[in-house]
Amino acid sequence: MDMILVGFFGVVFLAVALYSIRVRQGGWRWWALAAIVTLLVVGSRLSESAWPRLLLLEASAFAAAGLVWVTGAPAASRAARLYLWLLIPAVGCSLAGFALAGGGAAPPIFPIARIAAGLLIVGFGLKLALVPFYVWLPEVAEHAPPMTSALIISVVDIAAFAELVQLRVASPWIFTDYGIVWMVIALASMFGGALLALAQKDIKRMLAFSTIDDMGYLLLGVVAGGAVGLSGAWLGALSHSLFKVILFGAVGVAEKGMGKPVTLSTHGLAARYPVAAAAFIAGALGIIGVPPGFGFVGRWRLYLAGAQHGGVLLVVAMAVATGLALLYFVRAIHAVWLGPADIGEPIAPRYRLASVVLIVLVLIAVLLGLFPGVFTWLNASLAAMAG
């Protein structure tokens, strides 16, 4: 699975890099930090020992904060500072929690187990921007260049989430003994993220809340556990990664073309940026699990895990939260992209390479949704290669 994740991060970085050639995100320091972030994450996933893996992962988060900082804009610097300040306790709590938990299948003695679980919940809550610890993500998403946010969410956050999945397998007691706390955080993230997304006017900020919302779903799969829950969470994380690059990429094209942020007061962008509009619509519907996008492959498993773990009520709650997600995404699609265009907007420049990147990513997302069996095959092949 790690090999697939590494390959996935490679694709994401390649897409971000190609996109950023035409839609400039920053100077050489941005490029260097973007490469460092990806390399650290890839190194982390390739490490077999726990501590090097964790340390590389935490280092990638700090590099990501630097990525926000190098933009140079005052608002971006403020967001980077906030991210950095919250990363410190997040990393501290995670590492301390890991150390106390011991990485074993059985819980350590009282009260160490409780302290470890508490620290891990806070640490991952901060890193993954779960409710109520989400505050840094909307700030970063709003003020950082779109591909910076995409890298943070699609690579750094997803790698941190993969670590959580690994923890679920290695030390299940953290999730079974404290399942209620995880579950409350998951549901709060799902509903809180969705409702707060509905209240946003800035599209990038709304996308940040959609990540918070989606992380709630993924966490629910981890809490439910079992083959269905974990595979749902894992596939859901991959699809989230892919779709977030598409969504931020689409917004980035319009933002670059207009020279101002995309908000709900911007109208009819599809007339000027048809590829970006199509990519945004595909990304929005795909990320909430509308078939035949890749998102459905993880989403149906998560529904099944929800039904197995919490019965009808939980699965209905999940559907309601997805309904809310549909509402905020459709609101954005119809306010910003579709419909008559604003009068007086300048003619849009063409970002051909960025458009090609978006089209290829959408195609990948649809093909993976139509033929998700490729993962079964890929996993078996990689396992065979590993001997």
Partner 1 sequence: MIGRASMSPATLPTLLLLSGAVLQLAFGRFLPKIAKGWMAFLLGLASFIAALVMVPAVAGGTVIESAWFTWDAGIQMAYRIDGLAMLFTLMATGIGTAILLYSIGYMAHESEGTTRFYTLMLVFIAGLVNLVCSANLLMAYLSWEVIGLCSYFLVGFWYRQRAAVDGARKVLIMTHLAGYGLLIGIVLLYVRTGTFIWSDPSLGPAFTTGIAVLMLVAAMAKSVMFPLHTWIPEAMNAPTPVSALLHSACYVKAGVYLVARMYSLAPWNHALGGPMLVIGCLTMIVGALFALVQTDLKRLLAFSTISQLGHIVTLLSLGTNLAIAAALFYTVNHGLFKGTLFLCAGAVQQATGTRDMRQMGGLSSRMPATTRVWLIAAASIVGVPLTNGFVAKWLLFNSALEAGQIAVVMVALVVSILTAFYMLKATSSVFYGNIPDGLRNAKIKEAPLSMRSGMAALGVLCLVFGIAPQLLMQTVVGPAVRSLGFEWNAPVSWLGLLTGTADPHVTVGAIIVLAALLLGFIIYRITRPRIRKTVMVFTGGDQPQADHGVGAADFSEMAGAAFKPLYRVNPDPAYIALWRGVRGTGVALQRAMAPALERHPLVAAGLLALATLVVVWVV
Chain residues binding partner 1 by CB under 8 A are 82, 85-86, 89, 93, 111, 114-115, 117-119, 121-122, 125-126, 132-136, 139, 178, 180-181, 192, 194-200, 231, 268, 270-271, 285, 290-292, 296-297, 300, 303-304, 307-308, 312, 315-316, 319, 322-324, 326-327, 330, 333-334, 338-341, 371-373, 375-376
Q: Which residues contact 327 (CB under 8 A, 6 or more apart)?
A: 194, 198
Phi, psi of 131 (to 5 degrees): -70, 130
Task: Rank residues 121 and 152 by Cβ distance to partner 1 and give the closer one.
Answer: 121
Task: Rank residues 22 and 114 by Cβ distance to partner 1 and give the closer one.
Answer: 114
Residues in the chain, how many?
A: 387
Shortest distance in whole angstroms from residue 60 CB to partner 1:
21
Sign of the alpha-carbon dihedral angle for 229, 230, 235, 240 = positive
Task: Rank residues 73 and 341 by Cβ distance to partner 1 and give the closer one.
Answer: 341
CA–CA distance, 125 with 157 (Å, rounded to integer): 11
Shortest distance in whole angstroms from residue 234 CB to partner 1:
12
Task: Rank residues 113 and 153 by Cβ distance to partner 1 and give the closer one.
Answer: 113
Task: Rank residues 17 and 135 by Cβ distance to partner 1 and give the closer one.
Answer: 135
Q: Which two tokens stand for residue 215?
A: 């992380």
Task: Rank residues 32 and 112 by Cβ distance to partner 1 and give the closer one.
Answer: 112
Shortest distance in whole angstroms from residue 146 CB to partner 1:
21
CA–CA distance, 140 with 147 (Å, rounded to integer): 11
Strand partners, 202: 263
Shortest distance in whole angstroms from residue 260 CB to partner 1:
21
CA–CA distance, 76 with 215 (Å, rounded to integer): 24
Shortest distance in whole angstroms from residue 19 CB to partner 1:
23
Shortest distance in whole angstroms from residue 133 CB to partner 1:
6
Instruction: Give the DSSP H or E segment for 373.
Output: helix 373-385
CA–CA distance, 387 with 377 (Å, rounded to integer): 15
Q: How far is CA 28 from the centre of its chain?
A: 25
Shortest distance in whole angstroms from residue 55 CB to partner 1:
22
Radius of gyration, CA atoms only, the chain: 20
From 180, 144, 301, 181, select the one nearest 230 (Cα to Cα): 301
Task: Rank residues 51 and 371 by Cβ distance to partner 1 and give the closer one.
Answer: 371
Q: Which two tokens stand for residue 101?
A: 């938990």
